[in-house]
Amino acid sequence: MIIDLRSDTVTQPTTEMMEAIMQAKVGDDVYKEDETINALEEKIAQQFGKSHALFFPSGTMANQTAIKLHTNPGDQVICDKYAHIYNYEGGGASFNSGVSCKLIDGHRGMFTAQQVLEAINPPDFYHSPLTTLVEIENTTNKGGGACWDFNEILKIKQVCNDHKLGFHLDGARLWNALVAKNETTKQYGEAFDTISVCLSKGLGCPIGSVLVGDEQMMQHAIRIRKILGGGMRQAGFLAAAGLYALEHNIDRLTEDHKKAKELGIALSNASFTKKVEPIETNIVIFELNKKYTENTFLKLLSDKNIKIIGMGSNKLRLVTHLDYDDYQHFKVLDVINSL
Ligand SMILES: *Cc1c(COP(=O)(O)O)cnc(C)c1O
């Protein structure tokens, strides 16, 4: 048995989820005739208090669509230096939208409204790119699953309003933040113009992300999704998994968070760690001391059938998820204590 802690994207659909997929009523979603997709989009739009939601094959495509919605070529997007849209979407912001990113030197992927203010280019100074969008991530991926302070988000929203900037949330793991901080989809829906969420991370679906926003923006989003090749046909099989996950797999995220904290404690006590970053949700990032090099350490773990990944700068990452059960957890804790 392989214990895979590389990401929460590695989960397999459960028997119950497969049942839901098998039962799905489907149609051609490009004609908006897939009733399961329609039901999922309606449900998620309603949860966020937005008028519309749109299903996407990936979180990357949902984010890339959002960037395109809010910008024109030549514009600039303000985001953190750790942002997924900057680091992990293949340069899509420039490829698809022709925009550059102004990177904020934040803390664990998060920054302040004051830092946003300072990053905005003056619109009447024609030498600099026009700032049109602020993008944040909650939870932060490269920031180790950190959760934003919602009050700071509201302050940033004010800055965006004052300067007529779009405000997009990459909520790939937003449900982890909501569960950890006892927050609601509604309050996030009110704060942002657009939000992308992933069904294929902590929620355990095989495929799928959703973008929410107001009617005008989302009408445009359908066109952009089509251009990017994301107009799908009988996609209701995927939406059925999403509907199942919204019902059954949100509350249990606390279990992933608890296991992540326990891994963090074991790592803090281990002889090979220099530092473990604070753990708020399901991501654990830690640094090795001189005892093992990164490659030696990864090899030691893989010899025990445990997979984790390196994040660069000597940092390693573990992510807990639906398929990481109690038995695997005890085995991993055992291995950590033995190395
Ligand atoms: C996983 C992830 C995405 C989307 O990734 P896809 O693999 O394209 O679904 C977007 N943002 C963050 C922060 C992520 O962790």
CATH number for the domain spanning 292: value is: 3.90.1150.10
Question: Nearest to residue 56, comparing CAs of 31, 29, 79?
Answer: 29
**Residue pLDDT, tens place only, 210-237:** 999 999 999 999 999 999 999 999 999 9
Extract the runs of DSSP E, i.e. beta strands, from 100-161.
100-104, 131-137
| pLDDT above 90 for 313 | no
pLDDT at 12: 97
Task: Work out the angle at residue 298's Cα, subtended by the Cα atoms of residues 297 and 299, and round it to the nearest 5 degrees.
Answer: 90
Residue with tokens 């939208």: 97
- Beta strands at 315-319 and 309-312: parallel, antiparallel or unpaired: antiparallel
- Ligand 1: centre distance to CA 254 (Å): 20
Which of these ranges, 127-131, 214-218, 309-313, has the smallest mean pLDDT? 309-313
Instruction: Based on the fold, state whether residues 173 and 185 are members of the same structural domain.
Output: yes
What's the mean pLDDT in 75-82?
98
DSSP character at residue 51? S
Q: What is the mean pLDDT of the chain?
A: 97
Same-domain pairing of 55 and 193: yes
The three-point CA angle 25-29-32 to 5° equals 100
Hey, whose CA ends up nearest to atom 6 of ligand 1? 59
Q: Is the CB of 141 under 6 A from ligand 1?
A: yes
pLDDT (average), residues 117-131: 95
209: nearest Cα among 255, 248, 173, 253: 173
User: Over 90: is that where the pLDDT of 314 sits?
Assistant: no
| 84 CA from centroid of ligand 1 (Å) | 7
276/294 Cα distance (integer angstroms): 15
Both tokens assigned to 103: 């990177």
- % of the chain beyond a pLDDT of 70: 100
For a substitution probing ligand 1, which of 11, 56, 61, 198 has the most ligand atoms within 8 Å of its CB? 198
Quick: pLDDT tens for 294-309.
999 999 999 999 999 9
Rounded distance from Cα 94 to ligand 1 centre (Å)? 17
Model pLDDT, residue 311: 87
Classify burial at 337, counting beta carbons within 10 Å of its beta carbon; exposed 0-12, middle 13-18, buried 19 or more.
exposed
Share of the chain above pLDDT 90, in %: 97
**Co-location of 117 and 105 in the same domain:** yes
Q: Determine the average pLDDT of the residues in 180-186.
A: 98
315 and 284 housed in the same domain: yes
1 lies in some domain = no
Name the domain count of the chain: 2
Which residue's CA is the nearest one to ligand 1's atom 14?
172
For residues 220 and 257, membership in a common domain is answered with no
Structure tokens given for 152: 């700071």
User: Looking at residue 312, what is its pLDDT?
Assistant: 80
What are residue 210's DSSP bridge partners?
A: 55, 197
Domain finish residue from 234, 249, 264: 249
**One domain for residues 259 and 294:** yes
- Per-residue confidence band for 93, with pLDDT thresholds at 50, 70 and 90: very high
For residues 249-275, average pLDDT: 98
Rounded to whole angstroms, the Cα distance separating 198 from 173 reads: 7
Backbone angles phi, psi at 104, to 5 degrees: -95, 135
- Residue after which a domain boundary falls, among 188, 221, 249: 249
Range of 63's domain? 15-249
What is the 8-class DSSP label of residue 214?
Answer: -
Ligand 1: distance of its center to the CA of 93 in Å? 14
Q: Same structural domain for residues 283 and 295?
A: yes
Return the structure tokens found at 287.
């640094």
For the question of whether the overall pTM of this predicted structure is more than 0.95, the answer is yes
